Structure 1
Amino acid sequence: MKELVFSGTCRGIGVSHIIRDCDFTETTGYYRNEYQIHYICEGERFFFISQRGYKMVRGAIAFIDKRQIPTTNVVGGKFHNRLLIELEESWLLSMGEAVGFDLLRFFQDYHGVFLLNEEEQKYMQKNISVLENSVGKEGEFCEAQAKIAVIQMILRVCAGMGVRAPECRFPQEKMMRYMKVHDITDYIVGHCEEISSLDELARLFYIDKSYLSRIFKEVTNFTVNEFINCQRIGKARLLLAETEKTMEEVAKELGYDSLAYFDRVFKKYTDMTPLQYRKMKKKNNRNPFTFTQL
């Protein structure tokens, strides 16, 4: 069972609030390869980075540096009620300039899990209410209120809210599976354009493809194909924003033989077509930095 409590966007921010009673392969989000904040309202999830694991329970908040997303997974748990905030790098840079605070450095330094006490959880719930009552709404100050709520969460952690979560010990077998998948995700991140099939990937790592599919989903909460597409679409966004390559050239460079299929996959992962994304980026680049764009 999955219940979507809230989902919305404003410029630079995507917010989704979901209750699940088991893990699902598909995800709900907007940017996927951007900076992230996870907050657990109820239930549990598990945060893995390199060879370390952390249990996220009620009141846990995780900050994820997008440069470490390929080596970080937030997975597991039979039930969880969680809020996910995804932040575009361009917005973090603009907001950091406006408030005089290096927000990218914050995510680098605070990448990981923090546990909040009861009072801190009450503060967080107030900010969540502000987000859900503001993001995507039409009111004159709604967007500003949402973005201030996000900044307040970050600043409170900088001021000492929360303590680092202790490392958890997981069974050796589970950690071995995690490390195997970690090696595979590393390969996919660097070679996503070249991978033609699950069979090819299984041969490269000397592993049965059915077992590979099972442990990959267990560890990452993605199917192999979904993870490959996530990486390809992340690279597609850079090519569309920073080069003049045609849609056909971008699709071919990323391993998509069909432009129509590339369009469908891109829209699934970004909520817009490649052409719409390029037009949005060009429009944003033409507009100089102002406080109204934060």
Structure 2
Amino acid sequence: MSETVSLTYGAEEGDFYIQHIKRTEPFERTNHYHGTYEIYYLLSGQRNYFIKDRSYMIAPGDLVFINKHDVHKTSDVGQPGHERIVINFSDSFIGTDHPFYHPSLFGVFQQPAHVLSLNLQDQIFVQTIMNKLTKELNEKQNGFETYIKLLLVELLLFSSRYAERYESVPFEHASPLHKKISEIVQHINSHYQEPMTLSGISEMFYMSPYYMSRAFKEITGFTFIEYVNMTRIREAQKLLRESNRKIIDIADSVGFENIAHFGRMFKKLTKLTPHEYRKHQQ
């Protein structure tokens, strides 16, 4: 069997979700962004993790924090196979009106670097929290939902303090090519509403279209056009949630010249039409 699931609880887009899985074959993550916070803990193997506009090499004992709506994708590095725990939770799970809420709990999601590389002592501490979460969710004793929140608060508080202690360590790109692709991603993030082609962007960044296309896919996990479309649809989702603008105006404002193409891409990425998405969010 190519994967062994030790634990799954909740739904990924729900208030609280956790999954512990071990894979022995190549795997690429397919969900690109969501409205929940994510904590990713790698137990074994190596992963390339693209988050927002940077690519990270993840090793066992690394904790990864991904803010709501940030684009992210993992892919294999070297030998296939890895083991990891993923936790997703919503604002309403430990929201501002919750007795456990404190702004510092979410500090780790605001850090420029998304990865905490823990020393052995801190890995043991985090593993203890993960073991307690697993035990609670397997046994489901009286009050287990409350204890899950306590354990999540403990993990977030520890991680935010850890990030504050080590925030002076500057992020370094794995190579000049990683830095260049990061700059291209930042350009797409800032100019998604403008006409954008592979040939035009590759010329702007002094690369051949073929070389840029291969490097972009290898480093981010997305093709160039996949990433452009996904960025535009993500911004369209935000406008559908937060404004009453007409759908045709939103399509135009995020860079789609053709409303039919916008509708097809929106449904492909969200499984809903723009109209259904807006209704669902109200």
Q: Equivalent residue for 1:82?
A: 84
Q: Equivalent residue for 1:118?
A: 124
Deviation at 1:212, TM superposition (A): 0.7
Q: Equivalent residue for 2:230?
A: 230
Structure 1: unaligned runs, 5 residues or longer:
135-139, 283-294
Q: In the alignment, is the contact (CA less than 8 A) between 2:63 and 2:116 conserved in 1? A: yes
Identity of aligned residues (%): 28
Deviation at 1:247, TM superposition (A): 2.1
- TM-score between both structures, scaled by the size of structure 2: 0.71
| Partner secondary structure for residue 11 of structure 2 | strand
Deviations 1:177-228, CA, capped at 9 Å, x for gaps = 1011011001000111224422222222221111111111221122212221
CA pair 2-169 structure 1, distance change in 2 beyond 3 A: farther
CA pair 87-50 structure 1, distance change in 2 beyond 3 A: closer
CA pair 11-49 structure 1, distance change in 2 beyond 3 A: closer
Deviation at 1:65, TM superposition (A): 4.3
Equivalent AA in structure 1 for residue 133 of structure 2: N
Equivalent AA in structure 2 for residue 177 of structure 1: L
1:101 aligns with 2:107: no
Deviation at 1:16, TM superposition (A): 6.0
Deviation at 1:107, TM superposition (A): 2.0
Structure possessing the higher relative contact order (Cα contacts under 8 Å, 6 or more residues apart): 1
Q: Equivalent residue for 2:11?
A: 8
Q: In the alignment, is the contact (CA less than 8 A) between 2:193 and 2:254 conserved in 1? A: yes
Q: In the alignment, is the contact (CA less than 8 A) between 1:22 and 1:77 conserved in 2? A: no
Deviations 1:225-284, CA, capped at 9 Å, x for gaps = 2221231122112210111112222222222344444344334434443333322332xx
CA pair 240-148 structure 1, distance change in 2 beyond 3 A: farther
Residue of 21, 29, 42 corresponding to 1:40: 42
For 1:272 and 1:34, how far apart are their aligned partners in 2? 18
Deviation at 1:86, TM superposition (A): 4.4
Q: 1 or 2, which has the higher helix percentage?
A: 1
Q: In the alignment, is the contact (CA less than 8 A) between 2:36 and 2:68 conserved in 1? A: yes
Q: Equivalent residue for 1:154?
A: 156
Equivalent AA in structure 2 for residue 28 of structure 1: N
CA RMSD of aligned residues (A): 4.4
Deviation at 1:76, TM superposition (A): 5.0
CA pair 245-127 structure 1, distance change in 2 beyond 3 A: same
Q: Equivalent residue for 2:243?
A: 243
For 1:265 and 1:181, how far apart are their aligned partners in 2? 24
Q: Equivalent residue for 2:200?
A: 200
Q: Equivalent residue for 2:133?
A: 127
- TM-score between both structures, scaled by the size of structure 1: 0.69
